[in-house]
Amino acid sequence: MIKLLEVKKIFKETDQYLDQTVKIGGWIRTSRTSKTFGFIELNDGSYYKNIQIVLEDQLENFDEISKLPISSAIIVEGKLVATPEAKQPFEIKATHIEVEGPSTPDYPLQKKRHSFEFLRSIAHLRPRSNTFSAVFRVRSIAAYAIHKFFQERGFVYVHTPIITGSDCEGAGAMFRVSTLDFNNIPKDEEGRVDVSKDFFGKETNLTVSGQLNVESYCMAFRNVYTFGPTFRAENSNTARHAAEFWMIEPEIAFADLEDNMELAEEMMKFIIQYVMENAPEEMEFFNTFIDTGLFDRLNNVLNSEFGRVSYTEAIEILKNSKESFEYPVEWGCDLQTEHERYLTEKVFKKPVFVTNYPKDIKAFYMRLNDDQKTVAAMDLLVPGVGEIIGGSQREERMDVLERRMEEMELHKDDYWWYLELRKYGGTRHAGYGLGFERAIMYLTGMGNIRDVISFPRTVKTAEF
Amino acid sequence: MIKLLEVKKIFKETDQYLDQTVKIGGWIRTSRTSKTFGFIELNDGSYYKNIQIVLEDQLENFDEISKLPISSAIIVEGKLVATPEAKQPFEIKATHIEVEGPSTPDYPLQKKRHSFEFLRSIAHLRPRSNTFSAVFRVRSIAAYAIHKFFQERGFVYVHTPIITGSDCEGAGAMFRVSTLDFNNIPKDEEGRVDVSKDFFGKETNLTVSGQLNVESYCMAFRNVYTFGPTFRAENSNTARHAAEFWMIEPEIAFADLEDNMELAEEMMKFIIQYVMENAPEEMEFFNTFIDTGLFDRLNNVLNSEFGRVSYTEAIEILKNSKESFEYPVEWGCDLQTEHERYLTEKVFKKPVFVTNYPKDIKAFYMRLNDDQKTVAAMDLLVPGVGEIIGGSQREERMDVLERRMEEMELHKDDYWWYLELRKYGGTRHAGYGLGFERAIMYLTGMGNIRDVISFPRTVKTAEF
């Protein structure tokens, strides 16, 4: 039984501990020692900042401690003293130090700067570095902010299934899930894979979205959300794509596209505010070392009313701009990141919702507008990134929904339960998806999705 | 844009709305109408209870509304009036009712009692029933309670990977994840499956536990937890097994088995307390209709100090008992549910931790005790269920860990990064796993895991 004080407490409630004996445990981040005294920067994981330990040669095991390699774990007892003339506000004068777990000199995370690429190869150690300790604490705090936002507003959190028996949404390539023996795939009499022999008795895949499932809960609880992993088996080796990522999908009943946009705006502001308040040291680090425009960008989001522009207007703006785009702009085409960024960075200079996209480039479940050409979709574009949220009002009219499914050659039988939601008291409803990793990249300025996921899964990579 | 008042608000802040005109939306749960007036019980999803709507034939569309089938969605405007003589505290005298989405008379969830088994076949509609609305709101609130508990104590939430490239833990049968064409599995020159052609370039599976991964974050942040889906491809068709379920796995550094038990006890009490306070109507329902011993059982947990008994002592107790068990008891055997329940229900009459199990029935990573025969494992047994939490202090000594791996014929190369955690400043640490669905069953008295998962995945079942 080891009762240790958290370093965060010492920083936050310093007065309570000054001139007292304290006992802490942590890992050595740096160590500078001479023959008679030394300084150790210790990090205990509870706080972004290190605490300085002063050793003197009265310490019984001074020699042993002063030779400990970086990342060794020690337990320190000593007096907390103020150091008004030094850089750090206080330090611990060690009276007793125990070695909890030594490290070795070949510890790969030495003090020098490492490339993010190298650090990915030691994903089990990188959270011990300044950058990744900041990234993953912010990730944790942002996840909590999202739950807090929705729970405080009475939303019900729904765990939609990860393994899905239906390829409903067609949102992307899927991973197959199976217990069949790959050396000996059972076949039926006609030589087709005999899926009845598989674990679930049918073909199953990893989900690409919980939306269709969560809509059924929306029709019971009114306001609901998912927050879980989703998957794409796409061969996209970019800085923004991972095969496994987490997504937040709220769904609201008795609500239209306008309500949806209001919710998304309120949520984005809440997350930013919460993270700024609850991880100030980490955010300061990002603003100083990763993206010097970060605070300006986030404050701009907090302080602006998000813009609104229809897709049709946006196309006009883009066509009339003097900008030369790699991809030409024409009504009916999907917007590329360059277009999105131009709109949000150059035209609106703040986050902007683009609404009412052509139906042919959007999913079957989006509500058809009266013009019969566009659907009540919305994408939220933010400076520095482009699209961060995609959503829509859903088609609640059974006949229109069925017609859209026929147009898109979907099998209505596969969607029997989804259609029934319209038959038994369907209401106007809307929702959106926020890619959690994209949000973390946006909040931190980190440029590669691999650097905001603990153990990233991408094409040809599933280490650890 | 439809701004509707939530029914929960009317119940919680009644005074503010009494004698005012309110506008609400919801689904008809029951409807009793005559030619000149009627009563509708409306549920808007924000609250467990329905609100009573009174219709009179002055209503312009009285005929239409009074004929609406159950589950139709309507928007009601009217005056909230107190009804001191009636069963319900107030009702809404409707002045205007709009049909948002009608239902049809064949709506399968009619007022009569349905079996849980039947309701599973309409998993998209069952959250509209009393029981499942209570189950899934409690599930949501309990999930939040868990995040709140850990976040308020400074724990960092880690999303460990779902797709794993290593079959490390050996905790159970796994689902394979692949993008290979099942009709044409590529083979190498020796006729073996050519996994280099698969998406990740190797064999990958769905995770059975995030523990090994999260240990690496524990060695950086000290206190961490996971909360995510885990999978077992086991052919267990029981009321307690699902192929996909959510698990909470905290991991704490500078901590031993005693700290681990303290944390588990504190967490269990926190969750129960939070759910009782934040879902009182739902919990009342469970205590009345599902499990009349529920409150006694939960209050007993809240008010007792959990017991502690070593496995060796537990075996003695069981052997000396007059109880006739189906499975005989002998030192070295795993405890069966009947043994666990006897210990917690008959002997201790409260939750009890059983500690220090024989090493041969536990995982390789559990810390070897000085007796060389047992490991520092702990299972938490609770009345009515048996085991609800399993955990251990982890083996932090490199040499002992390696020896254990050799004994269990594990390939050390597969665990290179896990072993490195011991090389570079490993500390005493401990952790446990709480199956989230088991916890919900315990909190609600629901007897089948299929009834606490929105869309359950079990052997031969992956519907919706």
Q: B71 by DSSP, 3-state: which?
A: coil
- Interchain contact, B144 vs A147, CB within 8 Å: yes
- Interchain contact, A137 vs B221, CB within 8 Å: yes
Distance CA B142, CA B268 (A): 11
Closest partner residue to A244 among B163, B183, B425, by Cβ?
A: B163
Please enumerate, as own/partner, the contacts of B200-204 that have beta carbons within 8 Å and a separation of 24 or more.
Answer: B200/A243, B200/A457, B200/A459, B200/A460, B200/A461, B200/A462, B200/B163, B200/B165, B201/A460, B201/A461, B202/A462, B202/B165, B203/B165, B203/B176, B204/A462, B204/B163, B204/B164, B204/B165, B204/B176, B204/B177, B204/B178
Sign of the C-alpha dihedral computed for residues B49, B52, B53 and B55 taken in this order = positive
Residue A112 pLDDT > 90: no
Closest partner residue to B107 among A144, A220, A424, by Cβ?
A: A424
- Residues within 8 A of A (CB atoms), B 212-251 only: 213, 216-217, 219-223, 228-229, 231, 233, 243-244, 246
Judging contacts by C-beta atoms under 8 Å, the chain A residues touching residue B452 are none
A13 at the B interface (CB within 8 A)?
no
Q: How many residues does chain A have?
A: 464
Q: Give me the pLDDT at residue A448, please.
A: 96
| Arithmetic mean of pLDDT, A17-21 | 97
Q: Are strands B429-435 and B386-393 parallel, antiparallel or unpaired?
A: antiparallel
Q: What is the dihedral of CA B225, B229, B230, B233, to 10 degrees?
A: 170
pLDDT band at A293 (very low <50, low <70, confident <90, very high): very high
Enumerate domains of chain B plus CATH numbers. Answer: 7-101 (2.40.50.140), 128-171+208-451 (3.30.930.10), 173-203 (no CATH)
| Arithmetic mean of pLDDT, A406-419 | 93
- Interchain contact, A259 vs B127, CB within 8 Å: no
- Interchain contact, B221 vs A127, CB within 8 Å: yes
Residue A111 pLDDT > 80: no
Q: Give me the pLDDT at residue A170, please.
A: 60
| Arithmetic mean of pLDDT, A2-28 | 96
Q: Give me the pLDDT at residue A169, please.
A: 55
Closest partner residue to B6 among A26, A101, A154, by Cβ?
A: A154
B329 at the A interface (CB within 8 A)?
no
Give the DSSP letter string of B141-161: HHHHHHHHHHHHTTPEE----
Longest CA pairwise span in chain B (Å): 85
Q: Measuring CA to CA, how many Å separate B78 from each of A320, B9, B410?
A: 51, 16, 70
pLDDT band at A384 (very low <50, low <70, confident <90, very high): confident
Judging contacts by C-beta atoms under 8 Å, the chain A residues touching residue B104 are 423-424
Looking at every residue in chain A, the average pLDDT score rounds to: 95
Please name the residue of chain A whose CA is at the shortest distance from the CA of residue B423: A103
| Arithmetic mean of pLDDT, A442-457 | 97
B427 at the A interface (CB within 8 A)?
yes
- Residues within 8 A of A (CB atoms), B 108-137 only: 122-125, 127-128, 132-133, 136-137
- Interchain contact, B2 vs A127, CB within 8 Å: no
b/e string for A404-422 if b means 16 or more Cβ within 10 A?
A: bbeeeebeeeebebbbbbb
- Interchain contact, B161 vs A457, CB within 8 Å: yes
Judging contacts by C-beta atoms under 8 Å, the chain A residues touching residue B197 are none
Residue A277 pLDDT > 90: yes
* CA count, 13 A, side-chain hemisphere, B432: 29
Closest partner residue to A427 among B100, B157, B255, by Cβ?
A: B100
| Chain Cα centroid distance, residue B320 | 35
Judging contacts by C-beta atoms under 8 Å, the chain B residues touching residue A206 are 162-163, 177
Reference A384, options A254, A454, A286; nearest CA is A286
Burial (0-12, 13-18, 19+ Cβ within 10 Å), B57:
middle
Please name the residue of chain A whose CA is at the shortest distance from the CA of residue B9: A154
> Hey, of A137, A153, A254, A262, which one would you mutate to test binding to chain B, going by the most B CBs within 10 A of its CB?
A254
Judging contacts by C-beta atoms under 8 Å, the chain A residues touching residue B157 are 139-140, 143-144
Assembly ipTM:
0.97
Tell me the shortest Cα–Cα distance from A387 to chain B, in angstroms: 23
A415 at the B interface (CB within 8 A)?
no
Q: Give me the pLDDT at residue B170, please.
A: 60
Q: Using H for helix, E for strand and C for coil, what is the string for B224-239?
A: EEEEEEEECCCCCCCC
B9 at the A interface (CB within 8 A)?
no
Residue A364 pLDDT > 90: yes
Give, in degrees to the nearest 5, the angle at Cα B57 between B52 and B62: 75
A207 at the B interface (CB within 8 A)?
no
* Contact between A209 and A265 (Cβ < 8 Å): no
Closest partner residue to A178 among B125, B141, B178, by Cβ?
A: B178
B170 or A390, which is more confident: A390
- Interchain contact, A158 vs B136, CB within 8 Å: yes
Please name the residue of chain A whose CA is at the shortest distance from the CA of residue B137: A156
> Hey, of B7, B40, B187, B254, which one would you mutate to test binding to chain A, going by the most A CBs within 10 A of its CB?
B254
Q: Give me the pLDDT at residue A50, please.
A: 97
Give, in degrees to the nearest 5, the angle at Cα A279 between A41 and A444: 100
The dihedral region occupied by A191, where left means phi > 0, alpha psi between -120 and 50, and beta the remainder, is: left
- Interchain contact, A1 vs B164, CB within 8 Å: no
Task: Convert the pLDDT of each residue in A63-90 to its tens digit.
Answer: 999 999 999 999 999 999 999 999 899 9
A1 or A16, which is more confident: A16
Q: Measuring CA to CA, how many Å separate A355 from each of A209, A257, A329, A367, A369?
A: 21, 9, 17, 12, 11
Q: Give me the pLDDT at residue B121, please.
A: 97
Closest partner residue to A178 among B2, B175, B457, by Cβ?
A: B175
- Interchain contact, A176 vs B182, CB within 8 Å: yes
- N-to-C CA span, chain A: 31
**Low-confidence spans in chain B with pLDDT less than 50:** none
- N-to-C CA span, chain B: 31
> Hey, of B40, B178, B222, which one would you mutate to test binding to chain A, going by the most A CBs within 10 A of its CB?
B222
Here the tokens at position B352 are 């009890």
